[in-house]
Amino acid sequence: MSSTWLITGATSGFGRLVAERALAGGAHVIAVGRRRDRLAELAELAELAELAELAELAESAPHGQVTPVALDLTAPDAQDVLAEAVRSAGGLDVLVNNAGYGLFGAVEQVDADAARAIFDTNVLANLTVLRATLPALRAARGRILQTSSLIGQFAWPSSGLYSASKGAVELISEALAHELAPTGVKVTIIEPGTFATEFSTSLQVVAPSDVYLPTVGQFLTDFAALPPQAFGDPDTVADAIMAVAELDEPPLRLAVGADAVEHIRASLHSRLAELDRWERFPRVPAGEPA
């Protein structure tokens, strides 16, 4: 894999798994994250060729190189830092725009600072990365993988602000795909279901007040009670990202995980049913069934 990848959120979760796979394939990975220690670990893996599954294959196994970029993507200079990293690398073939975190709580109870912060990271920083990388991606007719979520397509009680941030990423990405179509750049939105990553370690939860205990409280209680087997293997998502990046004609959206497919399908059916039921409103004559 003689290509250059830029991966945000590369220090943990899906980002780290994708970075390891890209390195194992011989790519140059511009690894972006806040944690310098995790970035150093990734760079060391590349240097020592420890990504080879068997030690005796280490010399023959392809292995790439890492350019670690310790960066807060909400910082004022983030776009310039990323653009310079891409220039220094000589271009860019694949962007995995993956950084973000979760916030769960009743819409009313998420204060302005928390709401602003999640949009700063999950939406505005995503745009910062796109602005920094799109010139190089156009030149390479490259690929863009935008990490969303199954709940970027709909919302659960408690997920309103997080779902809104991922929904914004979904629609930005859809528009971007149309806008970039003549350039040859392909955009795919990755919609993972529930997987066993470090997502929960950065998850922020606003405890519900009494009025929201039957909805938000019940949902959070039920979610916390899920057994370990309810959480998928995150390798599945990393493998899907690697595979879709190679497709000549990738999908715009890719739901990963049986729960993602199930819940997104149910949401779409519900929306279509509601559209059909109310399409004549308010033109239905009085007394006639809607």
CATH number, domain of 67, equals 3.40.50.720
Q: Is 212 a residue of the active site?
A: no
Whether 286 maps to a domain, the answer reads no
Name the token pair of 36.
């310098």
60 catalytic per annotation: no
Domain assignment present for residue 282? The answer is: no
Provide the pLDDT confidence category of residue 114 given band limits of 50, 70 and 90.
very high
pLDDT tens digits for range 120-148: 999 999 999 999 999 999 999 999 999 99
Whether residue 275 is contained in a domain is answered as no
In a domain, 265, yes or no: yes
**Structural domain that includes position 233:** 4-270
CA distance 78 to 73: 5
pLDDT category, 203, cuts 50, 70, 90?
Answer: confident
Tokens of 155: 């919302």
Report the share of the chain in percent with pLDDT over 70. Answer: 91
Total number of domains in the chain: 1
Give residue 51's pLDDT band: very low, low, confident or very high (50, 70, 90). very low
Distance CA 143, CA 8 (A): 14
Q: Which of 108, 104, 111 lies closest to 220 in space, CA to CA?
A: 104
Distance CA 207, CA 224 (A): 13
pLDDT at 277 over 50: yes
Residue 80, pLDDT above cutoff 90: yes
Residue 112 lies inside a defined structural domain of this protein? yes
Shortest CA distance to 242 belongs to which of 15, 9, 13?
A: 15
Q: What is the pLDDT of residue 197?
A: 80
Nearest one of 114, 94, 123 to 29, comparing CA atoms = 94
Lowest mean pLDDT among 66-75, 116-125, 132-141, 192-201: 192-201
Q: Decide if 34 is inside a domain.
A: yes
Flag whether pLDDT at 88 surpasses 90.
yes
Mean pLDDT of the chain: 92
User: What pLDDT is stored for residue 111 in this prediction?
Assistant: 97
| Residue 284 located in a structural domain | no
Task: Tell me whether residue 162 is one of the annotated catalytic residues.
Answer: yes
Of the pLDDT bands very low, low, confident and very high (cuts 50, 70, 90), residue 54 is very low
150-164 tens-digit pLDDT: 999 999 999 999 999
| Active-site residue identified among 158, 163, 166, 186 | 166
Q: One of 3, 158, 159, 162 is an active-site residue; which one? A: 162
Q: In this structure, is residue 281 part of a structural domain?
A: no
The pLDDT value given to residue 199: 73
